[in-house]
Structure 1
């Protein structure tokens, strides 16, 4: 048993101290800090006093003051300038950067405003949308005057219909709670997806590296292959947990320091303003179970590979399974209670992400996530028993290995021992 702990601690410490782990963790942590301070960054680079200047040619002589008045209530960052210059001259000034664009106002055949906005690019941000909204308000007001409608009648016509979406099932989440949960689950799903792929690939590469350098021949003389396999899985699993804890702490303190700025913005949009302990609990549980499921499969596949360059080809089915589970979960963000999502949440290779999606967004009975956890544990045990048989024979195989027939060869070698 002492050899097992030595192997496990070696797998953990070697990865924790590696430059790739440190650099990856630092980059992700910096990304979290940047996202947490995104509002400050936007204001820093764009400037609070920045104004988008638009030249206006009003051929009617009527619409410019109305447009200016409406725009002040819609977007204060846009400044209009009434111009009598030729359109071609103003277009040159737009290209030179004097104006963001030029707006040509005319009167249509129906007696309402007609506009053409010209700029250097069709991706001009919010400017065209703001101008169109302001002109829409002007047209509505003019139409109301033609129909002799009062302001009260016009307000009634423009008022949104009262529509409330309620669930008749007791305890069901409200629409606001569902939107918050969707944002949190979306972010955590990405974390689970990339972490599982990264650490599973790390295990397969580690095994192949030891085989290609012939270190494996020395190791199996003192430590059984099965102990090596589980030592690597658990050791690198602790690496993943360490990184997860570090990033969660960085995220917590970064969001806490920027809470006042982000509340009502980025933080509230993704639902982190009211973060549920249950969601974090399910994220950790399904991350760990998903990791052990795919890590066991990765160790199995890595053991039959002798060259590092063959690793990616061999573990492609594993990556493909993770991708399918991720895309199913992404689809489920819009329909978490659909039959398809419910069924796939009990398929072991998809359970870590799809069941987490359902547990995070729906008020499930505790039996359902517990059943998902039991299915995962049973799958991990079955895969571990099978993987151990393949691993014992696979580590003794050398030469070009990029076919799944090598798994049968590995099992045959194990039987001959």
Structure 2
């Protein structure tokens, strides 16, 4: 056990100190930071959008031209004020004419003005919004909603009571419920569809699981093949057992992967908590508090188990290859298997209840990503999650035992890659 700990510590320190690890980690952290701040950079290059932008904390000031339709303008201003803290606000122009409002807009006193043009034969005026810069769609949609409410008040006048008007203008919220839930707990979780913020989290976790597993898996296989091709393995095998070597390398590189994930997680959290990025989340009605903690917890558990399943396979394949030039072709089947898992989850994220995703949730090579989609959507009952975890854990034991037999045999077999018949005969000579 001490020897395996030594191998683990040596592998971890050796990989962390390499230039490739440092450069890759720094470059990816920078790319993540740039990607998360793209909306803010766009606003800077555009001189800052009017309201609803990543940096727009102050509400948009919209002047109300009251030379015509004074009653409608006043109702509009009263309605907007009653809504509380809005991304925009109406400012009644008083005695100012349109030319004066244009001068105010050019001077930056207001961001634009709303003109209510009287149309012959129509009870409600035609609204026209003038602005010096483009106004965000969120603001124009909010103004249209205010106009619609005022229009209802103007058209019906005293026909409806204030309570009836309020009931009509209140948005209707749809609650979706799944009929595929197998128990009460799943049914309660299926009442809500995957929220946008959880959709983003699941999407990022799927990508993280795939890229991290592939990077660390190839790292394990290449290190074993490099030691074997340089004949260092013959020296190591005399002092450390093959099993201690294999699992020591797997755990050491797992620690490297967890360190890298921790760094990326800190970078993402730090960027999201920046004031201008929090404003962007608010603009898209995204709240960090809406993140389903179960997605994060189960994502970490399935990542760890998925890593060890693929890691033992990469280690077994790496032990059978004598030259690093042949490694890419040798690990191709494992790479294709991982790609299948990645694409099944990625293309099914918008339809978490399809049969393919349900079946994939119980196949050990695809379950880490497939079940994560269903957990994020709240359509995976607890028994399915636990069953998937159990199958994955048993698969790690089975393939770990098989990989240990292959590793112990393969590290001392040189020349061309052994056939399955040759490998099977050599494996029978060793007992784990």
**TM exceeding 0.5:** yes
Q: Following the alignment from structure 2 to structure 1, what is the Cα–Cα distance between the partners of residues 130 and 414?
A: 73
1:365 correspondence with 2:377: no
Give the drift of 1:14: 0.8
Single out whichever of 250-259 and 312-321 deviates more from structure 2: 250-259
1:332 correspondence with 2:345: no
The aligned counterpart of 1:7 is 7
Aligned-partner SS, 1:221: helix
Query: Where does structure 1 differ by over 6 angstroms across 4 or more consecutive aligned residues?
Result: none
The aligned counterpart of 2:213 is 196
The aligned counterpart of 2:43 is 43
Matches within 5 A, 1:217-256: 217-256=234-273
Q: Following the alignment from structure 1 to structure 2, what is the Cα–Cα distance between the partners of residues 192 and 13?
A: 23
- Tell whether the 8 Å contact from 1:204 to 1:298 is kept in structure 2 after alignment: yes
Give the drift of 1:273: 5.2
The aligned counterpart of 2:110 is none
The aligned counterpart of 2:336 is 320
- Tell whether the 8 Å contact from 2:49 to 2:133 is kept in structure 1 after alignment: no
- Tell whether the 8 Å contact from 2:352 to 2:379 is kept in structure 1 after alignment: no
Give the drift of 1:162: 6.1
Q: Following the alignment from structure 2 to structure 1, what is the Cα–Cα distance between the partners of residues 2 and 300?
A: 29
Equivalent pairs, count: 325
Q: Following the alignment from structure 2 to structure 1, what is the Cα–Cα distance between the partners of residues 329 and 18?
A: 25
The aligned counterpart of 1:59 is none
Matches within 5 A, 1:63-212: 72=129, 76-77=133-134, 164-167=174-177, 170-173=187-190, 177-212=194-229
Q: 1:277 to 1:191 in 2, by over 3 A?
A: same
Q: Following the alignment from structure 2 to structure 1, what is the Cα–Cα distance between the partners of residues 191 and 21?
A: 41
Q: Following the alignment from structure 1 to structure 2, what is the Cα–Cα distance between the partners of residues 75 and 215?
A: 71
Give the drift of 1:75: 10
Single out whichever of 256-265 and 220-229 deviates more from structure 2: 256-265
The aligned counterpart of 2:29 is 29
- Tell whether the 8 Å contact from 1:397 to 1:410 is kept in structure 2 after alignment: no
Q: 1:407 to 1:200 in 2, by over 3 A?
A: farther
The aligned counterpart of 1:260 is 278
Q: 1:206 to 1:71 in 2, by over 3 A?
A: farther
Q: Following the alignment from structure 1 to structure 2, what is the Cα–Cα distance between the partners of residues 349 and 252?
A: 30
Instruction: Provide the TM-score with structure 1 as the length reference.
Output: 0.70
- Tell whether the 8 Å contact from 2:12 to 2:255 is kept in structure 1 after alignment: yes
Q: Following the alignment from structure 2 to structure 1, what is the Cα–Cα distance between the partners of residues 229 and 410?
A: 13
Q: Following the alignment from structure 2 to structure 1, what is the Cα–Cα distance between the partners of residues 421 and 13?
A: 33
- Tell whether the 8 Å contact from 1:304 to 1:394 is kept in structure 2 after alignment: yes
> Residues 151-194 of structure 1, C-alpha deviation per residue, up to 9 Å, x if partnerless?
969xxxxx9x9683521665134556443322210111111111
- Tell whether the 8 Å contact from 1:267 to 1:273 is kept in structure 2 after alignment: no
The aligned counterpart of 1:309 is 325
Q: 1:251 to 1:356 in 2, by over 3 A?
A: same
Give the drift of 1:42: 1.2
- Tell whether the 8 Å contact from 2:194 to 2:378 is kept in structure 1 after alignment: no
- Tell whether the 8 Å contact from 1:392 to 1:410 is kept in structure 2 after alignment: no
Q: Which of 330, 334, 355 is the matching residue for 2:371?
A: 355
Q: Following the alignment from structure 1 to structure 2, what is the Cα–Cα distance between the partners of residues 230 and 72?
A: 68
Instruction: Provide the TM-score with structure 2 as the length reference.
Output: 0.68
Give the drift of 1:317: 0.6
- Tell whether the 8 Å contact from 1:208 to 1:302 is kept in structure 2 after alignment: yes
Structure 1: give runs of 5+ residues left out of the alignment. Answer: 51-64, 79-125, 138-150, 154-158
1:395 correspondence with 2:411: yes
Aligned-partner SS, 1:220: helix
- Tell whether the 8 Å contact from 2:194 to 2:376 is kept in structure 1 after alignment: no
1:409 correspondence with 2:426: no
Q: 1:22 to 1:407 in 2, by over 3 A?
A: farther
Output the aligned Cα RMSD. Answer: 3.2
> Residues 286-315 of structure 1, C-alpha deviation per residue, up to 9 Å, x if partnerless?
111111000000001111000001111000
Q: Following the alignment from structure 1 to structure 2, what is the Cα–Cα distance between the partners of residues 186 and 73?
A: 40
The aligned counterpart of 1:92 is none
Q: Following the alignment from structure 1 to structure 2, what is the Cα–Cα distance between the partners of residues 181 and 39?
A: 20
1:16 correspondence with 2:29: no
Q: Following the alignment from structure 1 to structure 2, what is the Cα–Cα distance between the partners of residues 3 and 24?
A: 30
